[in-house]
Structure 1
Amino acid sequence: MIVGVPREIKNEEYRVAVTPVGVKELVRAGHAAVVEVGAGVGSGFTDEDYLAAGAELAAVDEVFARADMIVKVKEPLEVEWPRFKPDQILYTYLHLGAGYAKPLTEAMMACGIRAIAYETVETATGAHPLLFPMSEVAGRLAIQAGATHLQKANGGSGVLLGGVTGVPPAKVVVIGGGTVGVNAAKIAVGM
């Protein structure tokens, strides 16, 4: 199978769906990987990293045209929809409950792509293993974002989240006890 990894084009999205280590595993399992030039740059991976792992580099149109499976992080944007081809597999977060889901769903149905949404992958116990790591990241980043917004230079009150000698730390309230909340609490306690 040829696995295609396009660069994410959604605004402020810097992740890449498959790292060079992932490419190496795909190649080791007998698959080929075609990665868009520059796809990993936002996550700290160079094109050379992908080449060393066994990937081929290509322009976005070639990635979509050659791939049996497209692996992304975020839902495809409208500019990507014409690149879908019949029976191609799309593996990504699709957020099908969001407001833009109907046009995306219609585009996928019209071309006959087979879509698998990360958020719907479930283990036998009902766990969502592909949501868990993103929820961990979201919880940890929430506290960092909060600390940034507390800084005076960013329009905040100037309170240091962790405090310093003689100055009490900020108070943090975490609402929710799921994976996001637990990870937010862990980081808040550590600061």
Structure 2
Amino acid sequence: MRIGIPQETKNRETRVALTPDGARALAEAGHDVRVESGAGAAAFLPDREYEAAGARIVSTTDAWDADLVLKVKEPLEHEYGLLRDNVLFTFLHLAANGPLAAALVAARTTAFSYDTVQLDDGSLPLLTPMSAVAGRLATLEGGHHLLSPQGGRGVLIAGAPGVPGARVVVIGGGVAGSHALAQAVGMGADAVVIDLDQGRLEALAEAHGDAVRTVVSTPEAIEREALEADLVIGAVLVPGHRAPTVLSREAVMRMRPGAVLVDIAIDQGGCFEVSRPTTHDEPVFSVGDVQVYCVTNMPGAVGATSTAALTHATLPYVRALAGGWESAVKADPALARGLNTDAGTVRYPAVATAFPDLPAGPPAAPVPDGR
């Protein structure tokens, strides 16, 4: 099979969909691996390492002209003309991206999204490594923007002898939220985590002891904690769906001057009412006296780490797709749930619900209950 790896074009995206070791594994299995020239350079993976692994270095067009295209981030508008009726495997977050959903349907692309590949227990094996990275980065970036030169409150997350650390509130105790929380605790913050799941809160309390205060999620509790926070990290996820809004604009306007919001859920539309996508070049905007950070490709800031972690997670699924996507989805319900579009139809229920004007087909596998 011809397997193409284009260069990522999103702002400051340093990841690439496959490491040279991953390319070697596919080439040794007999596949024609095509890597766009320079695709790995930002992750310090030069073309020569891919060539040594058995891949061919090709143009943009040749990387997309493959039976299976592997990417990290969703195709951008200027890439829509490169879409075709082949297989695409990448992060899509389609429920928050109508134009891309329509473009994939029009191109008749068989599109699998990393973020909807889901095991029977509800876990997301391909989203998990990037969520962990984004969670850690959320606390680091939030701490950076709390600094006075960045327009923040001038509060150090770790505090100082005799001075308490910053109040960091994490909304959502899943993978991203738990990693953000662990980073905050490790840096010495006065940490709070809010979640709907009492069992999850108990697990986080057991992991961190007195270093964390747990709060059961209600709209009133979220607003109360946000108003006392220096840094609020939104890590709310409903797999495959647009993120729910958990903090209103009116509440944000009443937060402490110089406070910071970081919205990890921005790929899925964002969980703060004020959220809108930002880039690594211009990561924040102001709402009243609050700084809001909504970078849509946070793990791209650490491309070497993220590329390795992503390849480790995706390679078994890539191997399966390279053997034929129809047989792959029949053999693996988790991968089947990753199918978002095929043959001019939407195949993922939440995306079909979000965009009822697009033609829809049956899901390739049922989504686990309790998502």
Per the normalisation by structure 2, the TM-score is 0.48
* Separation in structure 1 between the aligned mates of residue 180 and residue 116 of structure 2, nearest angstrom: 24
Residue 90 of structure 1 corresponds to which residue in structure 2? 88
1:108-137 deviations in whole A, cap 9, x for unaligned? 222322111111212233321111112111
2:179 maps to 1:183: yes
Residue 77 of structure 2 corresponds to which residue in structure 1? 78
Deviates more, 1:88-97 or 1:36-45: 36-45
AA in 1 matched with 2:71: K
* Separation in structure 2 between the aligned mates of residue 53 and residue 168 of structure 1, nearest angstrom: 52
AA in 2 matched with 1:71: L
The correspondence of residues 33-48 of structure 1 with structure 2, limited to 5 A, is 33-48=33-48
Match of 1:162 among 133, 158, 161: 158
Deviates more, 1:108-117 or 1:162-171: 162-171
1:130-182 deviations in whole A, cap 9, x for unaligned? 11112111111100011111222212232221234454322222221111110
Task: Give 1:44 deviation, angstroms.
Answer: 2.4
User: Using a 3 Å threshold, how does the CA distance of structure 1 residues 107 and 154 change in structure 2: closer, same or farther?
Assistant: same
2:8 maps to 1:3: no
Q: Which protein has greater RCO, CA pairs closer than 8 Å, 6+ apart?
A: 2
Residue 31 of structure 1 corresponds to which residue in structure 2? 31
Task: Give 1:43 deviation, angstroms.
Answer: 2.0
AA in 2 matched with 1:148: H
Residue 111 of structure 2 corresponds to which residue in structure 1? 115
* Separation in structure 2 between the aligned mates of residue 25 and residue 167 of structure 1, nearest angstrom: 53
* Separation in structure 2 between the aligned mates of residue 173 and residue 54 of structure 1, nearest angstrom: 47
Gaps of 5+ in 1: none
Match of 2:147 among 134, 148, 151: 151
AA in 1 matched with 2:30: G
Deviates more, 1:13-22 or 1:179-188: 13-22
* Separation in structure 1 between the aligned mates of residue 108 and residue 92 of structure 2, nearest angstrom: 16
Give the structure with the higher percent strand. 2
1:71-110 deviations in whole A, cap 9, x for unaligned? 1111111222222232x10011111111x32x32232222
Match of 1:172 among 154, 163, 168: 168
Asked which structure has the greater CA Rg, the reply is: 2
- Aligned to 2:168, what secondary structure does the other structure show? coil
* Separation in structure 1 between the aligned mates of residue 114 and residue 92 of structure 2, nearest angstrom: 7
Task: Give percent identity, aligned residues only.
Answer: 49
Gaps of 5+ in 2: 188-371
Residue 137 of structure 2 corresponds to which residue in structure 1? 141
Per the normalisation by structure 1, the TM-score is 0.89
AA in 2 matched with 1:58: V
* Separation in structure 1 between the aligned mates of residue 134 and residue 108 of structure 2, nearest angstrom: 33
Task: Give 1:52 deviation, angstroms.
Answer: 2.1
- Aligned to 2:13, what secondary structure does the other structure show? coil
Aligned residues: 187
Residue 340 of structure 2 corresponds to which residue in structure 1? none
Conserved in 1, the CA contact under 8 Å of 2:40 and 2:46? yes
- Aligned to 1:70, what secondary structure does the other structure show? strand
AA in 1 matched with 2:38: G
* Separation in structure 2 between the aligned mates of residue 107 and residue 172 of structure 1, nearest angstrom: 40
